[in-house]
């Protein structure tokens, strides 16, 4: 047996394979997602993340100095690509605003089915009040970026006359409320009263179309 085959056999028998340096952050994030999902935020340990990733604990800290920074990176890994694609679509689109809004909502519902993201949302609900840093991370990674995208889309629709001004246009973040409900429903009641995500999404899109393009109602409407 050659030295080369001995080395290959030794690696296959249990020695961690050498990784490309640029691949390590992604591997650590995936290991972190698995650990957070299994144990929650407080109970998750960086040494166990390292074990899942097959690397030394010190390597984890080299890329992510704290558990909070790893949690934020895990969030960003799941929602960041969606925001980047939507941002590019808004910048390049010249047509109506509603298709952009529909695309944002459709992408949100695609994310709801991600078990890793569901695990992070569960942590935010259960442990966020005790760990304000992870709530702040969620706000940076998700809320602030999504809010900015919504505001840009709605402002475009109002400027073109496509959307009606009103309370919804003044606070566009309410437009994602049904998706948040769908995510929480899946986590809390999904086993005892399952509702298909596509039904949530259809109702959600119907609300948006009527809310932004329909006749305004309320104390200022004609009666």
pLDDT digits (tens, 9 = 90+) for 163-216: 988 898 899 999 999 999 999 999 899 999 999 999 999 999 999 998 887 644
CA distance 59 to 7: 23
Helix 98-112 × helix 144-160 angle, to 10° = 160
Kindly state the average pLDDT of the residues 34-39: 95
- For 42, the token pair is 């407080």
Question: What is this structure's pTM?
Answer: 0.79
Question: Among 173, 182, 164, 178, which Cα is nearest to 220's?
Answer: 164
Confidence of residue 221 (pLDDT cuts 50, 70, 90): very low
Residue ranges and CATH numbers for the domains of the chain are 1-65 (1.10.10.60), 67-218 (1.10.357.10)
pLDDT digits (tens, 9 = 90+) for 94-138: 889 999 999 999 999 998 888 888 899 999 999 999 999 999 999
Confidence of residue 18 (pLDDT cuts 50, 70, 90): low
């Amino acid at each position: 047996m050659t030295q080369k085959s001995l080395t290959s056999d030794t690696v296959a028998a249990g020695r961690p394979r050498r990784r490309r340096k640029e691949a390590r952050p992604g591997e650590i994030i995936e290991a972190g997602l698995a650990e957070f999902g299994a144990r929650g935020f407080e109970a998750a340990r960086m040494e166990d993340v390292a074990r899942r990733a097959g690397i030394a604990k010190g390597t984890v800290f080299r890329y992510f100095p704290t558990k909070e920074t790893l949690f934020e990176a895990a969030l960003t890994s799941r929602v960041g690509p969606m925001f980047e694609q939507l941002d590019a679509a808004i910048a390049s689109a010249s047509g109506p605003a509603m298709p952009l809004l529909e695309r944002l909502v459709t992408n949100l519902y695609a994310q709801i089915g991600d078990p890793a993201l569901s695990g992070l949302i569960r942590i935010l609900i259960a442990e966020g009040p005790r760990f304000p840093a992870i709530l702040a991370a969620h706000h940076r990674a998700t809320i602030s970026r999504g809010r900015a995208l919504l505001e840009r889309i709605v402002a475009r629709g109002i400027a073109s006359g496509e959307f009606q001004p009103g309370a919804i246009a003044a606070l566009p973040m309410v437009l994602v409320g049904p998706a948040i409900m769908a995510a929480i429903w899946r986590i809390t009641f999904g086993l005892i009263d399952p509702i298909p995500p596509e039904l949530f999404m259809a109702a959600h899109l119907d609300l948006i179309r009527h809310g932004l393009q329909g006749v305004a109602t309320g104390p200022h409407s004609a009666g």
